[in-house]
Amino acid sequence: MSFFHWPPLIEGLLEAVWLVDAQTRRILYANQAASVLQRAPAQEICGTLVTDWTVSPEDALYWDTLAQPEQTLLQSETLLRRRDGSTVQVLRRITALPNDPDTTLRLVAIQDLSVQHATQQRLEHLLAELRATLESTADGILVCDLDGRIRAFNRLFAQLWDLPNTLLTQQNDESIHRWLASRVTDPEGYRLQLGLLQRSPLLQTTDVLLLQNGRLLERITRPQLARGRPIGRIYAFRDITERYATESQLKLAAKVFESSLDAILITDPQQRILACNPATLSLTRTQESDLLGTPATSLFFAPSQIDWLEILRQHLEGAGYWQGELWHRRADGAALALQVSWVVLRDAEGRTLNTVLFAKDLSEKVAAQQRIEQLAYTDALTGLPNRLTLTERVGHAIRLAQRSGLGFAVLFLDLDRFKSINDSLGHLFGDKVLIEIASRLKHCLRQTDTLCRLGGDEFVVHLHETDAIGAEISAQRLIDAMVRPIEIDEMHFNLSCSLGIALYPDDGDTLDELIRHADTAMYEVKGRGKGHYRFYRPEMNANLLARLQLDHALRQGLRAQQFVLHYQPRIDLHNGQMRSCEALLRWQHPERGLVLPGEFIGVAEETGFIVALGDWVLEQAVRQAAAWQDAGTPCPVAVNLSALQFHPGGLVMRVQQLLSTYGLQAHLLELELTESILIEDADEALARMQELRALGVRLSLDDFGTGYSSLGYLKRFPLQQIKIDRSFIATMHSDAVDAAIVTSIIQLARALKMEVVAEGVELEEQRQHLRELGCDQYQGFLCSRAVPASEFHACWLQPR
C-alpha cells in the first residue's frame, strides 16, 4: 500500500498518529488528534524531525540506530514535547509498515496518559490522607465488612485492646475477634451484641464495655455507607475510665447498666454499696435505701466453701477480677444461686477507685440440674423409677427383711408382640403404647410397691412385704389390666404380657439374682404360649442353659464347617420350567444329623449370631451361583436376609465384594427381605435397597401378609417380587378367607408390577388354583424338597 492511501485511514482515529520516514526521521503526516495533543497545527508538525518532539533517550536511540527495516515494533510509556515546550506522559507504539521499495514508513500511535496518571496520584494522595486521619483520631477505630471481616484498624485501637504483636504482624480476623471477646467481663453479652449488629446493618448504637483490666470503653457503632447502602460497620472505642473516677460519675456509669437483666452493684474501695440497678432490687426484693452503704459481701454466702471471702479478697487484690458461684438469701428465706463477677476499677497509678459486681440468677440452671438428677433416677419416657431407683429401694427392702423376716417379690414383665407394633407402626406410636401400659400397671400397685421400666418393653415390679399368694394376686391383676383393649390415635388393639416371679429370700438374696430368676421364669411363659405368669423354679435354669449351650454349639458348628446349603427350585406356573431356586440353611450336626433352621434360628436371632451365620450363607450362595454360571448352567439363587444383617452399613459393600470376588452376574442373586426390615426405618431401608438395585441385584419381599405392611411404603421400595407366606397357601383350598387373601396379594402385585411366588405348595389343587389366579412361580414339596447343590444340578440344571 502506497503512502497516499494511509492519511485517509488514520485521520479518523482517536489516537494521535504520525507517519514517519525512518530514513530521514521526518514526520510525513500527522492526524488531527496529534495536532490537538501537540498543540500545533498539523502542517507545522509535518516535515519536522521526529526527535524534535521526543524527550526520552530511548526514542532518540531508536530513531538514530535502531529504526532498521527489520525493527518492527517499539512500545513503552514516554514523554512527548508539545509546541509550547511542555511535556505530556504518553503511551507510544511504533510499528513498521510496508511501503514502496525505496521508502520505509513507521506508524507512530500516541495515547495521552496524563489524565490517568493524575487520577492515580489523586487516589494515592486521598488514601494517604485517609490513613493519616484514621491514625490521628482520638478514638480507637475498627472497620469491618458486613460479615465481620476486618478491613482496617488504627494503632490506638490496638493499644486500647492490648493486641499482642502476633496479631499485629500476622492479622487473623478470627483470632482478633476471639481476643476481643476474651478481654471483656461479659463475653456472652459481647457476642450477642455483635450478632445483633451483623443482623441489622443500618443499626446505630452506643454502649459501654467493661474490660477485665478494669478499664471502661465506650463503643460507638455506625454503618459504613456507599451510595446510600451499607457496606460495612465502623466501631469507635474511647477510654472513659477516668470519666467515672468520682462517685457522681460512677452513678452515671450505673445508669448505663440500668437496662441490664443482671444485677449490677457499684461499691467504693471498701466494697460498700454506692449504687445498684433495678435488676438488683428485683433480685433481692429490697429497697435501694436498704442496700446503699452496706458491705456488698453481706448479701452473699457460699455453703460449700467456708473461706470464700478470703479467696475473693486475694483475687481482687491480685488479679483485680473474680468470678464464681455464690448464694443470696432473701428476707422470706428463699435462697438463690448466683453467678457473680467482681471487677476492681483502678486509676492510672493503680489505686482502687471502685468495684463493680455483676450477678446473674442461676435459678433456671439449678432447676435444670435438679431435672437432670430426676432423670438419673427416673425413666425419661414413662416417668417411672429406673434401675438406679429400684436398686436403692430393693437394697432398703433387703435390710428391712433381714431384721423383720418378711420377704418380698420381684416380678419381671415383658409385653407380648410389642416388637410387631414398633416395626409396623413406628417407634413414636410404640412410645405412646408404653406410656399407656406404664399408667395401667402403676394403678395396679400399692404406694409401697415400685414399678420400674428397665428399657424397651421390659418392666420390673418390686412388691413390698409380700409372699407367694400376694405376688400371685398382684401378677393376675397386672395381666388383667394389660388385656383390656387399648385405643391410641383412633386405633384399637389388644396386648398381653408374660410375667415371671421370684421371691426373696428363696429365689435370691440380691436384686440382680432376683431379676435374673424372674426373667428366666418369664421366658418359660413365653415358651408356653405367653399371656400368663409363672414362679421361678431352679430347674428353669436348665432351659436357659440349654439355650446358651445351643448358641455355643452353633458358633462351634460354623467354625467346624457343619453348616450346608440346600436348594429348592421355583417352578414357572405357566410353562412348568424351573426359573430359580432358594438357598436354605441346614445344620449337619455330628450327633443329631440334619437339623432344620426352625430348631436353631430363633436362638441365633436372639443372641445376634445370625449376623455371622447369615454372612456365611450369603457367601456360600454366591459361590455356588458363580460355579453354576461358570459351568454354563446359570440359575438365579435367592438368599434370606435377617434384620440384623440388613441394617448395619456394610451390607451393600459386602454384596459388591462377593459379586466381584466370585465373578457372579448381579441379576443371578436375589435377596429376600422381611417386612420388619422395610418398616423399622423406611428411609434408611429405601436408600440401602436403591444401592443394592444399582448393583443389579434382585430384591424380593418374603412372607408377605404376615406383618403390618403399609402400602404407602410398599410402593416406594424397588422390589421385583413378592412371596406369599406358606401359612396362606396351606389352607387356601379349604379356607375361603385364606383363598381371598392369596387372591388379593396376587392382584396387588399385578398393580405394583411385581412377580408373585407362592411358597409351601404341597397339593396339586393348590398349584392349579394359583395358576388360575395368575401367580408366577411356586415352590414346595409338590415339586421338590430342598436338596444339596450336586443333586440340584443333576436334576434341574442342563448344560445349554
Q: What digits encode the pLDDT tens for the residues 706-729?
A: 655 556 667 788 899 999 988 889
Sequence ranges of the chain with CATH classification 3.30.450.20:
3-114, 137-240, 247-366
Identity of the residue numbered 584: L
Per the structure block, which three cell numbers stand in for 661?
Answer: 470376588
Of 434-438, 474-478, 709-713, 740-744, the least confident: 709-713
Residue 540 confidence (pLDDT) above 80 = no
Q: Give the residue, 23 or 784, on which the prediction is more confident.
A: 784
Q: What is the pLDDT of residue 800?
A: 47
Grade residue 544 by pLDDT with cuts at 50, 70 and 90: low
pLDDT at 746: 92
Could you identify the residue written with the cell 478481654?
Answer: 183
Task: Kindly state the average pLDDT of the residues 300-304.
Answer: 85
CATH class of 3-114: alpha beta
The partner residues of 237 in beta bridges, in order of sequence, read: 140, 219
Name the phi and psi angles at 7, rounded to 5.
Answer: -55, -45
pLDDT of residue 248 exceeding 80: no
Query: What are the tens digits of pLDDT across the range 671-700?
Result: 999 877 776 667 788 889 999 999 999 999
Coil, helix or strand at residue 291: helix
Residue with the larger pLDDT of the pair 800 and 349: 349
For the cut 80, the answer to whether the pLDDT of residue 420 exceeds it is no
What pLDDT, in 10s, does the model give residues 341-351? 899 888 878 88
Q: Do 322 and 342 contact (CB within 8 A), yes or no?
A: yes
User: Could you tell me which residue, 541 or 561, shows the higher pLDDT?
Assistant: 561
500 forms bridges with which residues in the sheet?
412, 534
CB of 524 closer than 8 Å to CB of 500:
yes
Whether 360 has a pLDDT exceeding 60, the answer reads yes
Q: Which segment of 144-148, 525-529, 554-558, 604-608 scores lowest on mean pLDDT?
A: 525-529
Say if strands 87-97 and 73-81 run parallel, antiparallel, or are unpaired: antiparallel
The strand ranges marked E within 113-204 are 140-145, 150-153
pLDDT of residue 579: 94
Res 66 pLDDT > 70: no
pLDDT tens per residue across span 373-408 = 666 778 888 889 988 889 999 999 999 988 888 899
CB contact at 8 A, 654 and 646: no
Contact 339, 300 (CB under 8 A): no
pLDDT bracket for residue 449 (50, 70, 90): very high
Please state the CATH superfamily assignment of the domain spanning residues 247-366 in this structure: PAS domain (3.30.450.20)
103-119 tens-digit pLDDT: 578 888 888 887 777 77
Domain with CATH 3.20.20.450 in the chain: 560-796
Largest CA distance in the chain: 137
Q: Is a pLDDT exceeding 60 seen at residue 81?
A: yes
Amino acid symbol at 125: H
Q: Which of 285-289, 304-308, 431-435 has the lowest mean pLDDT?
A: 304-308
Task: Mention the CATH class of domain 137-240.
Answer: alpha beta
* Amino acid at position 576, single letter: G
User: Mean per-residue pLDDT for 412-419?
Assistant: 89
**pLDDT above 90: residue 775:** yes
CA triple 712-717-718, angle to 5 deg: 145
Residue 167 has pLDDT above 90, yes or no: no
Of 50-54, 97-101, 739-743, 777-781, give the lowest mean pLDDT range. 97-101
Cα distances (Å, whole numbers) of residue 250 to 186, 189, 304, 394: 19, 21, 33, 62
Distance CA 251, CA 255 (A): 6
Query: Strand pairing of 205-210 and 87-97?
Result: unpaired
Q: In the structure, what pLDDT confidence band is assigned to residue 327 with cuts at 50, 70 and 90?
A: confident
Task: Identify the three-state secondary structure at position 681.
Answer: coil
Instruction: Tell which CATH architecture fits domain 378-538.
Output: 2-Layer Sandwich (3.30)
In the predicted model, what is the mean pLDDT of the chain? 85
Encode 310-346: b = buried (16+ Cβ within 10 Å), e = exposed. eebeebbeeebbbeebbbbeeeeeeebbbebbbbbbb
Condensed to tens digits (0 to 9), the pLDDT of residues 1-21 reads 555 566 766 776 778 888 888
Report d(CA 37, CA 90) in Å as an integer.
Answer: 10
Is 51's pLDDT higher than 80?
A: yes
Shortest CA distance to 527 belongs to which of 554, 493, 500, 494?
A: 500
Q: If you average pLDDT over residues 174-201, what whole number do you get?
A: 87
Q: What is the CATH number of domain 560-796?
A: 3.20.20.450
What is the pLDDT at residue 1? 53
Calculated CA dihedral for residues 331, 335, 339, 345, nearest 10 degrees = 30
**Could you give the CA distance from residue 83 to residue 794 in angstroms, rounded to a whole number?**
113
Return d(Cα 721, Cα 671) in angstroms, integer: 10
pLDDT at 582: 96
CB 241 within 8 A of CB 261: no
Q: What is the pLDDT of residues 212-243, one digit of tens each?
A: 888 888 989 988 888 788 888 889 899 888 77
